[in-house]
Amino acid sequence: MIAITVRFKVLPEHVDDWLTRVDGFTQSTRAEPGNLWFDWARSVDDPNEFILLEAFRDGDAGLAHVQSDHFKEAIATMPEALAETPRIINFEIPGEDWSRMGEMEV
Local mean pLDDT, 10-residue blocks, the chain (106 residues):
98 98 98 98 97 97 97 97 98 93 93
- Contact between 1 and 72 under an 8 Å Cβ cutoff? The reply is no
Q: What's at 45, amino acid-wise?
A: D
- Write the CA distances from 82 to 26, 28, 66, 106, integer angstroms: 17, 21, 20, 39
- Contact between 86 and 8 under an 8 Å Cβ cutoff? The reply is yes
Going from N- to C-terminal start, the domains of the chain cover 2-92
Return the pLDDT at 33.
97
Domain 2-92 has CATH 3.40.50.720: no
Return the pLDDT at 42.
97
Can you give the length of the chain in residues?
Answer: 106
Return the pLDDT at 2.
97
Return the pLDDT at 57.
97
pTM score of the predicted model: 0.93
Cα 58 to Cα 1: distance, rounded to the nearest angstrom: 5
3-state secondary structure of 57: coil
